[in-house]
Amino acid sequence: MTEASNPLTLRERELGPFTYLELQHPAQSTWRHWRLRRDERNVAWLLFDHADSNANLLCVAAMTELGDVLASLRRDMPAALVIRSAKPSGFCMGADLKDFRQLDNEADAVRQLVDAHLLAQQLIDLPCPTLAVLHGETLGGGLELALCCDMRLATPDTRTGLPEIRVGLHPGLGATARLPDLIDPMLAMRMMLTGTALGAEQAHKAGLLDQVAAEHKLRPLIEDALNGRLALRRRNLKARPFRLDWVRRLAALAMRRQAGAKADPRHYPAAEALIELWQRHGGQPDLLLHREIYSFARLINSPTSRHLIQLFFQRQRLKELAAGKESRRLSQLHLIGDSGDGIQLAALAALAGLRVSVGGSAASMSACIGQIRRLARDEAQRQQALDALVFDPQHHGVALADALIDGQQADMEQRRAQLQTLETSLRPQALVLSFADPVEPLRAALGDAGRLLGLRFASPERGALVEIAAHSTSRTISQQHARQLVGQLGCLPLPVSSQPGLLLRRVLAPWLLEAMLLLEEGASADAIEQAALAFGCPQGPLAIAEGWGLSHCLALFERLHGERDTPLAEPPAILRNSVEQGRTSLLDPKRRRWKTGKARSAKLSADQSDRLLLSLLNSAVRACRQGIVSDADMLDAALVLAGYFPPFRGGPLCHARETGHAAIVQRLRELSNDLGPRFAPDPGWQPVVEDAAPGEPLQAG
């Protein structure tokens, strides 16, 4: 990828009769997304050049046009056909998910898929030799198209993969049949089940690519290929045993076990559908192609896939928020204080190539070095990141920094004093990003409070969601800058308004509180956690509370309890006691033993599960109404991407919408009659007229 974006190597690309310069301008041809031209020996070169995007997407329009192209070729058959991409980024990123969003019934989906399959078959049936020349990202539909060609050449930066499983689908343009036919079926299934891409070398070894060569060495290889002199290895010995039903059945058993361990098949049906497809029809590729259509059409209409595709676009939207001007890239940070979040940020920044001066203690510098060692991809990146890190206890780095990161843990007075002294040497456009919660008290310390923003990592992993909290006088340009910084770190920015708990903890607090109340009432902790896990949450509420730290939870609950607009219920005594006793877990071993003596059922009643779920939904609606986050979509994306809400359900508000607001409001009213005002439906609920039977448990599935 980096190689491809270098302007010099761009000029080196082998484009047959096309020149590099003419590709800079829109195509002057009959088709918007394809460029076709024949060279002096009557070899047709077909360049895929999606008109409205920087990367090729196999959208419906491009497919229709491809049909026309093939028809025109059939009228005047060339000596051979070479297919390439005109985009520097890669061959093709796969199907356009926007098209999938519009499919709302199986019949339409089947119709479209049949058309696409006929097209693929036309490409295969073309009497002249066909050659795909690949580079960069060759994913999903793009790879499936390349599989329809007789031969495949590729440059070393090629990555081939079938990532459909990530949006709850399996390949839909014949790869389920053609890939296991071409390469080791176990590898093919692994590619489709995990969605991981193969590098060029791996793919060449597997037999997926016939030859890998650098751009400037492609021409003689293309010559050879078209003249039939290219050595092809098409004897797929490893596929032989899998023609037997019982071998496939055995192999499928192991695959099911592995796939089931990764994702619950009840929630994510694609893996099971794919395995089933292969197990039943793997011996007859033609039938498999046919069945693939119906299986794909069924999956694309499943809520799981719909939600995962929606999540893909939401993630895209967050990424776009992080996009910024190249000239505005931040290049230097200064960290003060020793907090874990600050160290995390410093390490990520150093790994992302920013210079970081660490103004905390020597221990925090050591911690930062440790963090980099853990996170670095390889030795070279580790070295580079460590070189970018400078220990700077006298805060000389402030003068050069684009952003001052406040990771102090001292009390507010000291924090303010420190910021006040450092701000004098800070550049006028530099940001001040603080991990303080809330950031408002720091405003007074700064001469220019418009540059102050709050930050919080949703999780300690790389690529995590980062909440960026703007207070009432934060400048828009500062917010943009901060989002860009988060993007540079490889994280997703989530702009929220600065309120206690920001967005995530604010939304989750009532859920955690309800879980603690249930615990207090005598429900078993296991049952509470199990209910959440069965719903699909990656973590139960009690585990989350312990992850945040109980004293933090208590402080947050108390602050939310003090709010004027629909305050949170009183923090439960069980939490208070645990914090007073300095415990880190709500599960007192002694008390646990006493509880098992009473032999409680391990499952929550429907009522209790409803209490848990509804407290979460109610609080999500409340946060959305209060405008903590820009819109409902963003809130859904945040809770899913932060790993709190199950992705296949699309987020709390999406789940509420699909369950039916009326039913939920009805249920909330019942609960608030029984249990008190904490369940009073938030004014933000909009009772949509939908038919859901009231009173029925809402946690189906």
Interface with other proteins (CB under 8 A): 355, 357, 362, 365-370, 373, 382-383, 386-388, 390-392, 394, 396-397, 399-400
Q: How far is the CB of 482 from other proteins (least distance, A)?
A: 23
In contact, 482 and 455? CB cutoff 8 Å: yes
Among residues 399 and 587, whose Cβ is nearest to other proteins? 399
Name 597's Cβ contacts closer than 8 Å, sequence gap at least 6.
none
Name 688's Cβ contacts closer than 8 Å, sequence gap at least 6.
657, 660, 661, 662
Q: What is the three-class DSSP state of 25?
A: coil
Among residues 379 and 565, whose Cβ is nearest to other proteins? 379
Tokens at 358, concatenated: 């660490």
Q: How far is the CB of 372 from other proteins (least distance, A)?
A: 9
Residue 468 to residue 455: CA distance in whole angstroms: 5
According to DSSP, residue 635 is labeled H
In contact, 32 and 65? CB cutoff 8 Å: yes
Among residues 255 and 356, whose Cβ is nearest to other proteins? 356
Residue type, 418: Q
Q: How far is the CB of 283 from other proteins (least distance, A)?
A: 55
Q: How far, CA to CA in Å, does 140 sit from each of 108, 182, 251?
A: 21, 16, 24
Among residues 162 and 358, whose Cβ is nearest to other proteins? 358
Q: How far is the CB of 73 from other proteins (least distance, A)?
A: 49
State the burial class of residue 256 (Cβ atoms within 10 Å of its Cβ: 0-12, 13-18, 19+). middle
Among residues 185 and 337, whose Cβ is nearest to other proteins? 337
Among residues 428 and 582, whose Cβ is nearest to other proteins? 428
Residue type, 701: G
Kindly tell me the sign of the dihedral angle through the C-alpha atoms of 680, 685, 691, 697.
negative
Q: How far is the CB of 357 from other proteins (least distance, A)?
A: 6
Q: How far is the CB of 8 from other proteins (least distance, A)?
A: 16
Among residues 92 and 376, whose Cβ is nearest to other proteins? 376
Q: Which of 135, 142, 140, 132 is nearest to 157 (CA)?
A: 135
Q: How far is the CB of 444 from other proteins (least distance, A)?
A: 28
Name 174's Cβ contacts closer than 8 Å, sequence gap at least 6.
117, 120, 144, 147, 148, 289, 292
Among residues 215 and 392, whose Cβ is nearest to other proteins? 392
Q: What is the DSSP pairing of strand 80-85 with strand 431-434?
A: unpaired
Q: How far is the CB of 434 from other proteins (least distance, A)?
A: 22
State the burial class of residue 652 (Cβ atoms within 10 Å of its Cβ: 0-12, 13-18, 19+). buried
Q: How far is the CB of 361 from other proteins (least distance, A)?
A: 10
Residue 385 to residue 380: CA distance in whole angstroms: 9
User: Which residues, in sequence order, are bridge partners of residue 138?
Assistant: 92, 160
Q: How far is the CB of 179 from other proteins (least distance, A)?
A: 42
Among residues 102 and 394, whose Cβ is nearest to other proteins? 394
Q: How far is the CB of 375 from other proteins (least distance, A)?
A: 14
Q: How far is the CB of 354 from other proteins (least distance, A)?
A: 11
- Three-class secondary structure assignment of 458-519: CCCCCCCEEEEEECCCCCHHHHHHHHHHHHHCCCEEEEEECCCCCCHHHHHHHHHHHHHHHH
Among residues 262 and 373, whose Cβ is nearest to other proteins? 373
Q: How far is the CB of 407 from other proteins (least distance, A)?
A: 17
Residue 494 to residue 66: CA distance in whole angstroms: 39
Residue 316 to residue 610: CA distance in whole angstroms: 32
Q: How far is the CB of 11 from other proteins (least distance, A)?
A: 22
Among residues 316 and 383, whose Cβ is nearest to other proteins? 383
Length of the chain measured in residues: 701
Residue 45 to residue 38: CA distance in whole angstroms: 6
Q: What is the three-class DSSP state of 306?
A: helix
Q: How far, CA to CA in Å, does 406 sit from each of 238, 272, 322?
A: 58, 48, 21
State the burial class of residue 63 (Cβ atoms within 10 Å of its Cβ: 0-12, 13-18, 19+). buried
Residue type, 322: A
Among residues 366 and 577, whose Cβ is nearest to other proteins? 366
Residue 367 to residue 535: CA distance in whole angstroms: 37
Among residues 370 and 460, whose Cβ is nearest to other proteins? 370
Q: Which of 187, 196, 171, 198 is nearest to 262 (CA)?
A: 196
Residue 517 backbone dihedrals phi, psi, to 5 degrees: -65, -40
Among residues 380 and 689, whose Cβ is nearest to other proteins? 380
Q: How far is the CB of 425 from other proteins (least distance, A)?
A: 9
Among residues 249 and 374, whose Cβ is nearest to other proteins? 374
Among residues 394 and 476, whose Cβ is nearest to other proteins? 394
Place of tokens 């176990």: 186
Q: How far is the CB of 447 from other proteins (least distance, A)?
A: 20
